[in-house]
């Protein structure tokens, strides 16, 4: 059995990549890591530039300097996990982890909810039945060409000024163009092709599958809500059915 490379140590190797025993491998790892990034803390960092103590506080409280978890005050709990340094009209990103869709989770009334929805509820009492909470900061940035759409930093935003309660259908109509149409390059030529297919009697669902779009997007093209300037008056009609 191989023994530790450290002089005067005959313990068996525990970490093969280092050829060291468990004791000396742990010491080597601590030596490689720098000090904790919190001012005045000389402990070695564990993760994200923080020592174990401050890293655990960050995970529990949203702030490595908060010693005790805030309880029974949802406004204070959410505020402790949100970065408001940009001012009252900037995005307020949630500092916790995000899920696969880019949203942040927050424990609220013994349930796990999306952080931005909790922010809306705390500011406006409740979400009306049949309504969704939409990030208007995302929609505005996308229209201005400042955001690629889909999963982005705007989904972290918890500023109630940037949120809007919308009927579910309106939310879907506002969101789908940012999330889905980017999969197919909706140039004027593509929209013209789709309009010709619609005129020739091809079903919207079949066209949606062909171009990797949603039926709702095809409907918006048909109604002139997407690339309204594209016309097909001069295009020859297809063969009669």
Q: Do 174 and 100 share a structural domain?
A: yes
Q: Is 202 in the same domain as 122?
A: no
pLDDT of residue 240: 45
Q: Which residues pair with 111 in a beta bridge?
A: 108
Which of 179, 205, 232 represents a domain boundary (last residue)?
Answer: 179
Using alpha carbons, list the distances in angstroms from residue 190 to 122, 148, 211, 218. Answer: 44, 20, 9, 11
Residues 161 and 97 in one domain: yes
Same domain flag for 155 and 193: no
> Are 89 and 162 in the same domain?
yes
> Could you count the other beta carbons within 10 Å of the beta carbon of residue 158?
29
Q: What is the total count of domains within the chain?
A: 4
Structure tokens at 83: 């970065």
Other beta carbons within 10 Å of 46: 16
Q: Show which of 135, 153, 179 is a domain's final residue.
A: 179
CATH at residue 139: 3.90.75
The pair phi, psi for residue 231, each rounded to 5°, is: -120, 160
Strand boundaries in the chain, DSSP class E? 105-108, 111-114, 131-135, 163-167
Given this model, what pLDDT does residue 239 score? 47
pLDDT of 17 reads 55
Please indicate, yes or no, whether residues 95 and 172 belong to a single structural domain of this protein: yes
Answer yes or no: do 18 and 96 share one domain: no
Reported as type and span, the H/E element at residue 222 is helix 215-222
Residues 162 and 192 in one domain: no
Domain end among 69, 88, 123 = 69
Q: Are 30 and 22 in contact (CB under 8 A)?
A: no
138 and 190 share a domain? no
Check whether residue 202 and residue 230 sit in a common domain: yes
Of the candidates 76, 44, 38, 39, the one whose C-alpha atom is nearest the C-alpha of residue 57 is: 38
Residues 104 and 191 in one domain: no
Range of the domain at 2: 1-32
- How does pLDDT run along the chain (241 residues), one tens digit per residue? 677 767 778 777 765 556 777 777 766 665 556 778 888 787 877 777 788 888 877 877 677 777 666 667 889 889 988 999 999 999 999 988 888 778 899 989 888 999 999 999 999 989 998 899 999 999 888 888 788 766 789 999 999 999 999 998 788 777 655 554 444 457 777 888 888 888 888 888 888 777 767 788 888 888 888 788 888 876 555 444 4
How high is the pLDDT of residue 8?
78
């Amino acid at each position: 059995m191989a023994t530790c490379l450290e002089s005067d140590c005959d313990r068996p190797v525990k970490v093969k990549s280092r050829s060291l025993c468990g004791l000396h491998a742990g010491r080597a790892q601590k030596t490689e890591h720098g000090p904790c990034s919190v001012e005045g803390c000389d402990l070695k960092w564990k993760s994200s530039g923080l020592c174990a103590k401050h890293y655990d506080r960050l995970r529990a409280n949203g702030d490595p300097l908060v010693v005790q978890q805030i309880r029974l005050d949802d406004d204070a709990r959410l505020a402790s996990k949100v970065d408001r340094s940009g001012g009252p009209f900037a995005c307020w990103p949630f500092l916790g982890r995000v899920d696969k869709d880019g949203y942040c989770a927050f424990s609220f009334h013994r349930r796990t909810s999306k952080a931005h929805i909790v922010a809306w509820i705390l500011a406006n009492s409740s979400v009306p039945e049949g309504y969704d909470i939409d990030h208007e900061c995302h929609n505005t940035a996308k229209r201005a060409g400042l955001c690629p759409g889909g999963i982005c930093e705007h989904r972290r935003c918890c500023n109630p000024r940037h949120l809007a309660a919308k009927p579910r259908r309106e939310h879907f109509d506002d969101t789908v163009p940012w999330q889905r149409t980017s999969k197919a390059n909706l140039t004027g030529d593509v929209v013209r092709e789709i309009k010709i297919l619609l005129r020739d009697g091809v079903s919207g669902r079949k066209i949606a599958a062909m171009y990797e779009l949603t039926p709702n997007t095809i409907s918006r093209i048909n109604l002139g809500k997407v690339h309204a300037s594209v016309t097909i008056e001069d295009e020859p009609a297809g063969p009669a059915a």
